[in-house]
Structure 1
């Protein structure tokens, strides 16, 4: 999420205030006006920040101090949460407009009816499936509560009618979580084999995706964590016991540590083979990025149109690799977007793009892309580690899990007979 400038254009600030006024009042009966929707998608400040309070700060202090306060208030929630809350608030205000109800402050019965209607909604493309899960409906209720709280209003979701409605939805719609299938080691090798061919322009994505898949798997990283990595976050080190090379990946904010209070580090050891070695993959990809920095797209073309050592000499590069000078504090994305012409963008891939990448390779391999996603790499680590005999403590350390029950679920999935009395029945 981009911070607002303390010296932003007054007309832009006025437009943002007008936009906020539009989404916190009841819209026209049909729906929110299209300009309001478009503006809401582009706005960088939080829908949870009370603009009237900030205006009071401007009157008591000055614009710069108000802008400083606004930036920190906007940073209180993650970008993903804010994006979801914006979408949820638009949907609720549009529904209120259609039903002739008031969105702010909302009547608790109106909120309960809105959630109940959402629970009964079916997918247009698949009428046999529900459109919204209980978890999504709970998030919608949280968004309504958050916007009310930001405006100094009592939350309608704390009333008994809303709480009982959500409880009833959970009881009526009991179902196992729709977990993505884990990418275990054999599946990972299958996905790696489906990368584009070497050479230019496909060799750019080939190298980037090798590192992404290996890092996500060995590091048990979430798709948002992968997308957020910069070259400054990765360092080449060595195992103090064996002297073998390894990568150390530093994570700042994570899903369970959004304020980055804990300095999470993830170690990625050398692989047994060059094709599954994260250090070799990093060396290969960093070389492409170095050439791109110094010679642009023509330089990358010249590099990849020559002899590619990844193909002509598939040996380990990691023993002599010492790192890259791209880790210079400029926060270059480790996984930038790459187009079909092999052009490397300055922006990083999104978390959604990471999930789509896994699905795309699964489909190429003849697997069902619907059951795979970005989380498949993280769950695949836990499942493969359990199959290899790792303890739950070891799995939790690498995956930064704090709840042992989550890890036990992966272990049961990997080997349902592990520590199970059924093996002693003598059948």
Structure 2
């Protein structure tokens, strides 16, 4: 087994020092010897802020596993010898799960290598992963374990209708989850948002604007940071127009959700329960977004946690919870939940837009894709005969 239980001494040393996986226990002692606690703390905060929380969690797991392997094998984790890293990756590539499948994918092994490299870089040390022996080992693993990527199924427009049909019934205590989940599915699909972007949205990030062509309301969703712009230097906005049908209109869903949030903020849970009991549910065939004027925006999460008793939490849903939400509604629709994930909404936007005749430039703009090859993959999935010379063979 490659994944070895992490020695308690390693865990204790990591807990004592700077709160960043990028600073190893060995480096922590050097930091404490040369700088005071305030300076060391500042270093840790900014090193940690250099990576997304998801990346830090993955690197923390990978670095602890590497440190444990080194402790068991009598090797040095930092600075590491390139040959040791290559042997570790090769052993991990051969590791199997209990069911006989591979324990780690090539992508996971490359992430493990990246974690070792990141810790060395943060400590001012040359990365052992740049050596030929590590690079060639990873290349050999990719060639040996070559396989088609397992892509999740996209949520197309008809699939979105199936998911929305599984929303809870109106009324207390299910209406808060009903309105939140409808908005999440519609914004995630129409905005081509990643699950982390959905989880990170605040109410103040969404603005109600006006489509000057049609006169209909629209939503402007501000994304402070994205996967391709983690520092948020180029602030990105996603425009969501009023839908043709009220049931799939993101602006209507936003109006429904904010009305509920405003009642809850003004009257509390008891007042919200009374309002939902006394107020008939919105008519599904009528737009509710025309004339809607939201209250002053707050910095509260747009998609908070909600208990099964209808209680709105103060914390935002996690990215993992977003993915589980998509899976849950897929299961309610009679679909295989294992085929869907949070990415299914984003992939569904690109595929459905390609089916509708959108150009790759238009798809890239809404989805904030920087690489045309990614979008071309969705277009080929939507219509494999599009711009294909095989249609001109005369068969």
Range of TM-score over shorter length:
over 0.9
Distance in 1 between residues matched to 2:307 and 2:46, nearest whole Å: 35
Query: Is 1:79 aligned to residue 53 of structure 2?
Result: yes
| CA separation of 1:234 and 1:114: change in aligned 2, threshold 3 A | same
CA contact (8 A) 1:31 1:98 kept: no
* Equivalent residue, structure 1, for 2:149: 177
Per-residue CA distance 1:192-237 (angstroms, 9 max, x = gap): 0011111111111111000000000000000000000000100000
Per-residue CA distance 1:272-314 (angstroms, 9 max, x = gap): 111100001001111121122222222222222233332x564
Query: Is 1:344 aligned to residue 312 of structure 2?
Result: yes
CA contact (8 A) 1:54 1:70 kept: no
Post-superposition shift, 1:105? 2.4
CA contact (8 A) 1:89 1:143 kept: yes
**SS where residue 265 of structure 1 aligns?**
strand
Query: Is 1:301 aligned to residue 273 of structure 2?
Result: yes
**SS where residue 380 of structure 2 aligns?**
helix
Q: How many residues align?
A: 390
* Equivalent residue, structure 2, for 1:4: none
CA contact (8 A) 1:107 1:156 kept: yes
Matches within 5 A, 1:137-216: 137-216=109-188
| Counterpart pick for 2:294 among 295, 302, 323 | 323
Query: Is 1:367 aligned to residue 308 of structure 2?
Result: no
CA contact (8 A) 1:200 1:342 kept: yes
TM-score, normalised by the number of residues in structure 1: 0.86
Distance in 2 between residues matched to 1:117 and 1:333, nearest whole Å: 43
RMSD: 2.3
CA contact (8 A) 2:210 2:217 kept: yes
| CA separation of 1:394 and 1:43: change in aligned 2, threshold 3 A | farther
| CA separation of 1:258 and 1:44: change in aligned 2, threshold 3 A | farther
Post-superposition shift, 1:179? 1.3
Matches within 5 A, 1:181-260: 181-260=153-232
* Equivalent residue, structure 1, for 2:67: 93
Distance in 1 between residues matched to 2:15 and 2:327, nearest whole Å: 26
Q: Which moved more, 1:79-88 or 1:146-155?
A: 146-155
Distance in 2 between residues matched to 1:365 and 1:44, nearest whole Å: 47
User: Which consecutive unaligned segments of at least 5 residues does structure 2 have?
Assistant: none
* Equivalent residue, structure 2, for 1:422: 390
Per-residue CA distance 1:394-420 (angstroms, 9 max, x = gap): 000000011111111101100011111
Per-residue CA distance 1:68-120 (angstroms, 9 max, x = gap): 45432321111111111001111111222333333222222221121112111
Distance in 2 between residues matched to 1:388 and 1:132, nearest whole Å: 38
CA contact (8 A) 1:271 1:277 kept: yes
**SS where residue 196 of structure 1 aligns?**
coil
Post-superposition shift, 1:245? 0.6
CA contact (8 A) 1:184 1:383 kept: yes
CA contact (8 A) 1:335 1:349 kept: yes
TM-score, normalised by the number of residues in structure 2: 0.92
| CA separation of 1:231 and 1:30: change in aligned 2, threshold 3 A | closer
Q: Which moved more, 1:48-57 or 1:292-301?
A: 48-57
